[in-house]
Amino acid sequence: MDVWDAGILGIIQGLTEFLPVSSSGHLELGKAILGDDSLPKESLLLTVILHFATALSTIVIFRKDIADILKGLVSFQWNEQTQFSLKIIISMIPAALVGYFFESEMELLFGENLILVGFMLIFTALLLWLTDKAKATRKPVSYTNAFVIGVAQAIAILPGISRSGATIATSVLLGNDKPKAARFSFLMVIPLILGKIAKDIGSGEISTENANFMIYGIGFITAFISGLFACTWMISIVKKSKLKYFSIYCFVVGVGAIIFTQVNG
């Protein structure tokens, strides 16, 4: 992997982490197209770095929200911030359980499994199309909603299903306010990403031996900058109900991935 490959994968990660088009699916497609033959430990290190970059961009965009939540928590009162934090914790449970008990099984679904990616992108396209047709409401996310949205996030571990698309779509289809659904979707993933990064680092499977930090640095910078752009853009897209364009995109790319697999199989 060279600097250009890392930069391209960083941009893919940064954009697709927030835009409803599946970051895992596009990274698999990107690696296949670029012919990425990195060693597993090297690839894992890059993945961790790219995910940390997008988590950091989320923290930057929502820094005021996060600061308000932390201030509310340290007051040790049953306030709005405490209730929101509890909803975030509830939403994390399904994905945390899947990650803990079925991590090895889930890993088998990755590794250029482009047929699965293609069909899951088509499924994402359907979700986005339905979401775009949903009526606008002012309903906030409830505790029950938080758990159901968490289940959607757990399912979105599958490569090709957009995490942001699945969680925002589920929230909106449950009747929640669209901007609040987007805000909840982006904030709920921060603890999971940071927890996964800590787990990967603590596992000892990541190797920095012979690592080219210029390559990883380029990947980090491009993922962070494109993440800032995509996160801000996505909030605006959800407010304006423009998800149908991403629905069409996911459908086209999903069909393309299936055709690409058949032609090169």
- pLDDT tens for 200-238 read 777 766 666 666 778 889 989 999 999 999 999 988 888
Phi, psi for 49 (deg, rounded to 5): -65, -45
Q: Count other C-beta atoms under 10 Å from residue 107's C-beta.
A: 9
Q: Which residues contact 161 (CB under 8 A, 6 or more apart)?
A: 22, 25, 120, 121, 123, 124, 155
Can you read off the two tokens belonging to residue 208? Answer: 């920095």
- pLDDT tens for 2-54 read 788 788 888 888 888 888 887 767 766 776 666 655 444 456 677 788 888 99
Please give the pLDDT value at position 255: 92
Please give the pLDDT value at position 39: 40
Tell me the DSSP string of the chain. Answer: --HHHHHHHHHHHHHHHHSTT-HHHHHHHHHHHHT----HHHHHHHHHHHHHHHHHHHHHHTHHHHHHHHHHHHTTSS-HHHHHHHHHHHHHHHHHHHHHHSHHHHHTT-SS-HHHHHHHHHHHHHHHHHHHHSPP--BPP-HHHHHHHHHHHHHTTSTTS-HHHHHHHHHHHTTB-HHHHHHHHHHHHHHHHHHHHHHHHHHT----TT--HHHHHHHHHHHHHHHHHHHHHHHHHHHTT-THHHHHHHHHHHHHHHHHHHHH-
- pLDDT tens for 136-192 read 787 888 999 999 999 999 988 887 888 888 999 999 999 888 888 888 999 988 888
Is the pLDDT confidence value at 256 over 60?
yes
- The model's confidence at residue 58, banded by pLDDT at 50, 70 and 90, is very high
Q: What is the pTM (predicted TM-score) of this model? A: 0.82
